[in-house]
Amino acid sequence: MTAIAGYVAPEAKSGDLGVHSLDQFVLSVPDVNVADDFYTNFGLNMVRNGNSLQLKTFGHEHAWGSVVEGKSKALHHLSFGCYAEDIARLKARVEEAGVKLIDPPPGFESNGFWFRNHEGVLMEIKVAPKVSPDSKSDSTWMPAPAGAPGATVRAKAPPVRPRRLSHVLIFTADVLASIKFYERTLGLRLSDRASDLVAFMHGIHGSDHHLLALVKSSAPGFHHCSWDVSSINDIGLGAMRMHDKGWQKGWGLGRHVLGSNYFHYIMDPWGSFSEYSCDIDYIPKEDRWPSADHKPEDSFYLWGPDVPREFTLNGEAGEI
């Protein structure tokens, strides 16, 4: 399912060893048609690929995610991209960490290698073009000039089109052990954490404040995928459209502390979330972000509505 035809290997950007991107997340759900409806209304370009769906953004050929059919909703695997000259060293480092390499799951082919993390979650590292940003994404604020209206009527509101995947957040039974695992194997670096409850990790070749986030639960699972949009207005328009289409549970509008992004989360059909995100912090490859351990009560969100109970539940662990 991972297309490698016509592949052009990217070039390395530094001597550091680590993946450069979260290439794609893959979810298993009971009915891909339900996923098609949800993500299409969210603003993504859904492409059928056999018995699966690819999650693309308009104007970009990359598949940021995939949905396959399964008995229940579950995180099928995460795929990370690396530079061609790093693949052998990353493979050796994963094996040196005592991690056993395994065959690809049925239906998936790649130019990389596969393994399970310390909690049994399936992972892939492959040679792929860098799709994490090389600079901070532009965010727009367009005040109307005097004598002209700043907003259109609702009937003429433009569709919201996310520009790219920003990150995913996954559940883990041990946040601190997970930080060590991803540092040791993927070469990710800690951006910030809040005690042993949540942590945010970035890529060493330049990425958003986090391309992978971790939150404590009783078991592994998928919490949300986050999609970059160009403005707070886009966040609001996206939330309104999803509400009008019947997807009314969620959380937002608000602004996070760690990452600094504006957000609105929409609860998906399986109890996890998709996030509209704008103006997240960016960590250049030349920088060493001053990671810190923050007080949980002071670092979740700067402003916004109260957090709904369902936002903290892990459906894959039977909590919903």
Q: Which class is domain 21-127?
A: alpha beta
pTM: 0.93
Mean pLDDT of 10-19: 66
200 has a pLDDT exceeding 80: yes
pLDDT, the chain, mean: 93
150 has a pLDDT exceeding 90: no
Q: Does residue 122 have a cis bond before it (omega within 30 degrees)?
A: no
Q: Give percent above pLDDT 70 in the chain.
A: 95
Q: Which pLDDT belongs to residue 11? A: 43
Evaluate whether 21-127 and 162-317 have a shared fold: yes
* CB proximity list for 282: less than 8 A, separation 6 or greater: 133, 135, 136, 137, 206, 207, 208, 209
Which residues does residue 303 pair with via DSSP β-bridges, in sequence order?
255
pLDDT digits (tens, 9 = 90+) for 58-101: 999 999 999 999 999 999 999 999 999 999 999 999 999 999 99
Closest CA to 122 of 101, 93, 107: 101
Cα(81)–Cα(112) distance, integer angstroms: 9
199 has a pLDDT exceeding 50: yes
Report yes or no: 94 and 78 within 8 Å, Cβ to Cβ. no
Closest CA to 67 of 112, 37, 99: 37
* CB proximity list for 32: less than 8 A, separation 6 or greater: 51, 52, 53, 67, 68, 69
Q: Which pLDDT belongs to residue 40? A: 98
What are 16's two structure tokens? 């550091």
What are 5's two structure tokens? 């035809």
Which residues does residue 186 pair with via DSSP β-bridges, in sequence order?
none
- Where are the strands (E) in 136-290, listed by range? 164-172, 189-194, 198-202, 207-208, 212-216, 221-228, 250-256, 262-267, 273-278, 282-283
- Domain at 162-317: CATH architecture: Roll (3.10)
Cα(147)–Cα(129) distance, integer angstroms: 47
Cα(278)–Cα(259) distance, integer angstroms: 10
Any idea where the domains of the chain sit in the sequence? 21-127, 162-317
12 has a pLDDT exceeding 80: no
